């Protein structure tokens, strides 16, 4: 695997690790605290994490040529932390699998994204960094919401470097 392709795989693995780490920190949170008003773009931790999940579903559907398009948004928010953690882990595993199997040819291909204004063709090379950036952006907001809930927010930037890397990051990198 080329360095460029390896970077996408590492980003997908980091994404899965960061999500699992965040969900582990809130694993004991009850549904009332999960839905309670919090500072951020979305007004609760449940809405923030459900947004991350459903946007992942949307872009993975496009990447996998699933054909569901905007229909992935026709769902009810998952209000149980453990259930949403399992659903997020499953979609994270799909992203890792997609990146693990990716080739330069796939990276150059286009995928249809179903937009309100109509269909738009995007390259895989543009969709993947957008999806990862979306995750990071909203996970940062969730980090603040976790702290607002009185829970120590977990360290989420110890994945890539050897210095300070936590053991769970090594596990997600396939090095453990």
pLDDT, tens digit (0-9, with 9 covering 90-100), for 127-137 = 999 999 999 99
Given a contact cutoff of 8 angstroms between Cβ atoms, the answer to whether 32 and 162 are in contact is no
Look at the alpha carbons of 115, 46, 174, 66 in this order and tell me if their dihedral is positive or negative: negative
CA 67, CA 80: separation in Å to the nearest integer? Answer: 28
Q: Which residue has the tokens 């930037």?
A: 157
Residue 120: per-residue pLDDT: 94
pLDDT, tens digit (0-9, with 9 covering 90-100), for 31-80 = 999 999 999 999 999 999 999 999 999 999 999 999 999 999 999 999 99
Tokens of 126: 């543009």
Which of 121, 140, 160 has its CA nearest to residue 19?
A: 140
pLDDT, tens digit (0-9, with 9 covering 90-100), for 12-31 = 999 999 999 999 999 999 99
Given a contact cutoff of 8 angstroms between Cβ atoms, the answer to whether 26 and 151 are in contact is yes
Tokens of 14: 């980091």
pTM of the model: 0.94
CA 139, CA 124: separation in Å to the nearest integer? Answer: 22
CA 98, CA 3: separation in Å to the nearest integer? Answer: 16
């Amino acid at each position: 695997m080329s360095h460029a392709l390896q970077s996408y795989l590492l980003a997908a693995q980091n994404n899965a690790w960061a999500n699992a780490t965040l969900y582990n920190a809130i694993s004991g949170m009850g549904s009332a605290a999960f839905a309670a008003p919090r500072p951020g773009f979305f007004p609760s931790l449940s809405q923030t994490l459900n947004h991350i999940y459903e946007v992942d579903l949307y872009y993975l559907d496009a990447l996998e040529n699933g054909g569901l398009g905007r229909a992935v948004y026709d769902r009810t928010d998952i209000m149980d932390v453990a259930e949403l953690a399992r659903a997020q882990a499953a979609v994270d595993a799909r992203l890792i699998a997609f990146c693990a199997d990716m080739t330069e040819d796939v990276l150059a291909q286009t995928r249809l994204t179903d937009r309100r204004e109509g269909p738009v063709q995007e390259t895989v090379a543009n969709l993947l960094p957008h999806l990862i950036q979306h995750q990071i952006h909203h996970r940062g907001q969730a980090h603040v919401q976790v702290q607002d809930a009185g829970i120590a927010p977990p360290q989420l930037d110890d994945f890539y470097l050897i210095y300070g890397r936590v053991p769970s990051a090594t596990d997600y990198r396939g090095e453990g």
